[in-house]
Structure 1
Amino acid sequence: MDAASRPAVVIDNGSGYSKLGFSGNSEPSFTIPTAVAVNESFLNQSDSSSNGNSIAQYNAGIMADLDFFIGEEALSHSSGIYNVNYPMHHGQVQNWDTMEKFWQQCIFNYLRCDPEDHYFLLTDSPVTTPESREYAGEIMFETFNVPGLYIAVQSVLTLAAGYSTPKSDMTGVVVDIGDGSAHVVPVVNGYVIGSSIKSFPIAGNDVTQFVLQLLQERGELIPPEDSFDIARKVKEMYCYTCSDIVKEYSKHDRKPSKYIKQWSGVKPKTGVPYSVDVGYERFLGPEIFFHPEIYNDDFTTPLPDVIDSCVQSSPIDTRRALYKNIVLSGGSTMFKDFHKRLQNDVKKIVDDRIAASTARLGLDVKPQPVEVNVVAHSIQGYAVWFGGSVVASMPEFYESCHTKEDYEEYGASICRTSPIFKGMY
C-alpha cells in the first residue's frame, strides 16, 4: 500500500510535553513529557576500560543506545543509573542526539508504526532557525527513512484547527503559551509576519515555580523530592484568573473557608500523610502574565501590552482583522477566565489609545471602534496538534511534502521551508 494512502504521523514537540498521533483523529493518541532517561553506566564503563578496548567501547555504546526511556517512564527512572535529559528548552531543540532517541521511542514504542510507511508532519516554533529544520529533516530522512516530511509553523496550525475563524480566512494573532516558551505571532492569510513576532519570557513552567515559591514562603510542609510535581498539580487543578487582584484578596480574606483548597498526599519515603493549604496561590499564579513584576523584576511588560505591540507593528491594513481574532493556544492558556481577562485588558489599551488620539487631534467625529475578540476553546491545549491533524488530512498535504527523492537530490536545505497549500487558507 502506498504511504500516501495511509494516515500521516503528526508529532507536536514542546518543551514540556509532546503530542503524538495520526492525521484524521480529533485528539492526540499520546501526550507525554518531552524527557529522555538514558542509562549512561555503559558509556562510563567503556571510558574507564583498560587499553581503550574498541570492541568493549563499541558494545557499551550499542547498549547505551538501546537502554533508555521517554515520557513518564523517563521521569520514573530519574534516580539511580539513569540520567534524565530534556532535549528541548524554550521551544528549541538543544540536544539532537537525545531528540533522535525521543522520536525513536515515539514511533516504535508508542505509535507502533513503521516510519517508512507513513508521511510525517512535525511542528516548529516560529522563531526556529533554518539550520534546526535541516537537522530535523536529516534525522527523519536518514535515520527513519520517511517517504515524506512536512515541517509546519505551530501558530499557522493553530489557525488551521478552525475553531476560531473559517479556514478561508487564516488571519489572526496566535498567543501560544506552552510549558517552556510563549510567543505572540501575527498570521495573515496563512503567512507569519516574522518581523512582528513577540516573545514573552514567562510560560507555564514559571507559573509552577511561582506557585511553589509562594507555598514554601508561607511555610507549607511539602516533601522536597515531590515539591515541583505537587506545585504543577496544584496549578492545574486549582489556579484561575481573576479580574481584579485587590478584590480577589478581599474575597479570600472575608471567606477563607470558601476559597482555600487542600492538597493531600503521602510522603514517598516515610509513608506519612500530609496536607497543603492552597490560598492566594490560586489566583496569584496566573497573575504573573498580567503583572510579571511580582515574579521577575527584570520584566515589567504585561502580556496584553505585548499583544497590542505585536498588532501595532503589523501592516496597518491588517490590524483590525488581527484584533478581531486573537487565538489562544497551549496548556498554559487553559486557566479559568484567562481569555476574558485578556480580552478586557487588550480592549482597554485599544480604547484608551483611540480616546487619546481623538482628544489630541480635537476630532468632532467619533472614530469607528475597534473590535477586540479573544477566542478560547476546549481544544486549545492541543490546538497545534489538532491543526496538524486537519492539515495532514487534506489531499494537498501529500503533494506539498518534501519527499525522500527530493532530499536525496537537493539535500537537507529543502527542509528550511514548507509551502503553504491552498487547503490551509
Structure 2
Amino acid sequence: MPMFDTLAYGGEKTPVVFDIGTAYTKCGFSSECSPRKIVPSTVKKAKTGELVNIYDISDREELYRLLIDFVHLLYFRHVLVPKERRVVIVESVFTPTMFRETLAGVLFKHYEVPSVVFVPAHLMALFTLGIPSGLVMDCGYKQTIVLPVYEGIPVLKACQALPFASKAVHNYLDAQLREHGIVRDSQGEEKPLSSVKDIVDENILEDIKVRCCFVTKLDRAQQIHAVSAGIKDAELPAPPPDVQYPLDGANTLTIPGKIREHTFEILFERDSEEQSVSTLLLDAIIQCPIDIRKTLAENIILIGGTCMSVGFQHRILTELYSLLNSPRYKNRLALKSFKFHHPPSKRNCVAWLGGAIFGIQEILSTRSISRDQYTKNHCMLPDWCSLYDYEESDNHSAILLKKEASKEVLPSVSKSPRSPVVAKKV
C-alpha cells in the first residue's frame, strides 16, 4: 500500500497527483504509471443532496465548502493516504483564477499540505512522451484547446480554443435522439423517445456516444455537409446500420445509423469565422515563428477523452492535408507532412501521467509553493495571465542587480602584494 512506502524506503513521501478536469478527475501517485481512480468532478451538496459540478460554482465561499468535501473524498476514499504529502495539480491553461486560488486555499488552510505545484496539462503531455517540442490538442468536455510547446516553453500567443468538445456532442446527440429515436418496451410496443421522460441522462448519452457513434471519413462528411448546406444534386451517403441500445430491463432504444455517423460532425463544421477543430491546429502553427513550424507539425499530440473516439485521429489527419490545399492556407503554410505521436497510455490520462513523471523529479521542491510561502504572499498564487506577478519579479531582480553592482570585491588577506580593487560590473 502507498501509505507504507516511506517505511520501506525511508525517503520522502511520494507526492499525490490530481488532474481535476471539467468532467472527470484523475487521482494517484507520482510513482505509478496510471491513476488510482477516475471519478466524476461532482460533489453532493450537504443541504439539498444535489450533485453539482465543481466548475459550475460561481460563488467563492460555496466553492470553498464544496472543494473541502471533494478533496476529502479523493484523500480518504480513493488515494487512502495521510495529508502530509506534496501535491501536483495538473490544470488547463484556461482554468479560472478563482478556482485555482480557492483550491490552493483548501489544500493549504484546511488540509495543511506541505506544498502545491500547478502544472499545465499541455506541457505535461510532453513529459509523458519525453520530447521537448510538440503541438498539443486537448479536446475535453467543454472546449478544445491547442497550445504549441517549443523546447519546454508554451507559446501562449499561438494558443487557439473553441467551445466545442464532448458537451456539444452530447447536446446534439440528445436532440437527435429525442427527435428520431424509437423506444420499444417489453411487449414490443414502439413509441418515440420524446414521449418518455427522464430516461436518457448525461451518463447514458456518454455511453451511447462511446459505444455506438464514430467519426466518419472525410469524403462521406463532405457529402453530409453539402446536403446540410442545401447544395443542389447533393445526396446523403448510405447510412450505417441501426443499433439496439438497452436502456433498462424493459425498454430498448433504436439508434438510427444516420445519428451514429452524424453526431461528431458538429466538431468539424465551420462556424461563422471558418473555424473548426481541425483549423485550430493550422491556425496555431501560423501564429508561431516560421523556423519551428515544421517541428510542431511533425510532433502533434492528441489528448483528452474526446480524442479517443473511433476515427478521430484519422479524420484530423485527412482534414489537415485537405486544408493545406484550401485558399486560406495554401499560400501561408509550406508544410508537406504531419505526424502524430502515440502516447504510452490512454489519451485521457496522458496529462496525468506527465504530472506523475514531473512529481518524481528533484526540481519539484523548487517549483512548488510551500505553505510558508503561501502565507507570506498573503494567499496569492503566481499566475501566467497576471502582469503583477511578473512586474513584482522584475522589480525584485532589478533590486538584486543594483545591490550586486554596488558591491566591491574585497582584497584577500595574504602575503602577496595587494591586488587592485575591481568593481563588479553587471
Aligned residues of 1:133 and 1:416 also touching (Cα < 8 A): no
Find the structure with the greater CA-based Rg: 2
Which residue in the other structure is 2:197 paired with? 224
Aligned residues of 2:127 and 2:358 also touching (Cα < 8 A): yes
User: What does the per-residue CA deviation read over 1:221-247, in whole Å, with 9 as the maximum and x for residues that have no partner?
Assistant: 344323133222110112211112358
Which residue in the other structure is 2:26 paired with? 19
Change (3 A) 1:357 1:272: closer
Which residue in the other structure is 2:398 paired with? none
Change (3 A) 1:308 1:246: closer
2:182 match: secondary structure: coil
Residues 260-409 of structure 1: matches in 2 within 5 Å? 260-266=242-248, 272-291=250-269, 300-352=274-326, 356-357=330-331, 369-377=335-343, 378-409=345-376
Which residue in the other structure is 1:141 paired with? 108
Q: Whole-Å Cα distance in 1 between the matches of residues 215 and 199 of structure 2?
A: 25
Larger RCO (alpha carbons 8 Å, 6+ apart): 1
- Asked whether 1:159 is paired with 2:117, we answer no
- Asked whether 1:120 is paired with 2:87, we answer yes
| TM-score normalised by the chain length of structure 1 | 0.74
Q: Whole-Å Cα distance in 2 between the matches of residues 184 and 246 of structure 1?
A: 23
Unaligned runs of 5+ in 1: 41-80, 359-366, 418-425
Change (3 A) 1:179 1:379: same
The structure richer in helix per residue is 1
Aligned residues of 1:242 and 1:248 also touching (Cα < 8 A): no
User: What does the per-residue CA deviation read over 1:84-118, in whole Å, with 9 as the maximum and x for residues that have no partner?
Assistant: 2111159x9993432332112111222121112x1
Q: Whole-Å Cα distance in 1 between the matches of residues 335 and 92 of structure 2?
A: 33
Which residue in the other structure is 2:238 paired with? 253
Residues 61-100 of structure 1: matches in 2 within 5 Å? 81-89=48-56, 95-100=63-68
Shift of 1:132: 4.4
Aligned residues of 1:15 and 1:181 also touching (Cα < 8 A): no
Which residue in the other structure is 2:172 paired with? 210
Q: Whole-Å Cα distance in 2 between the matches of residues 307 and 412 of structure 1?
A: 37
| TM-score normalised by the chain length of structure 2 | 0.74
User: What does the per-residue CA deviation read over 1:2-32, in whole Å, with 9 as the maximum and x for residues that have no partner?
Assistant: 9972211111011111111111211111111
Q: Whole-Å Cα distance in 2 between the matches of residues 262 and 390 of structure 1?
A: 43
Change (3 A) 1:89 1:115: same
Aligned residues of 1:264 and 1:275 also touching (Cα < 8 A): yes
Give the one of 136, 146, 166 matched to 1:184.
146
Shift of 1:197: 1.2
Change (3 A) 1:355 1:239: closer
Q: Whole-Å Cα distance in 2 between the matches of residues 85 and 354 of structure 1?
A: 42
Aligned residues of 1:182 and 1:201 also touching (Cα < 8 A): yes
Change (3 A) 1:261 1:407: same
Aligned length: 352
Unaligned runs of 5+ in 2: 1-5, 184-192, 225-234, 385-426
Query: Residue type matched to 1:260 in 2?
Result: D
User: What does the per-residue CA deviation read over 1:235-288, in whole Å, with 9 as the maximum and x for residues that have no partner?
Assistant: 01122111123588789737x5xx32220132xxxx633232341222212221
Q: Whole-Å Cα distance in 1 between the matches of residues 262 and 31 of structure 2?
A: 39
Q: Whole-Å Cα distance in 1 between the matches of residues 56 and 158 of structure 2?
A: 22
Change (3 A) 1:191 1:353: farther
Q: Whole-Å Cα distance in 1 between the matches of residues 92 and 110 of structure 2?
A: 23
Aligned residues of 2:305 and 2:347 also touching (Cα < 8 A): yes
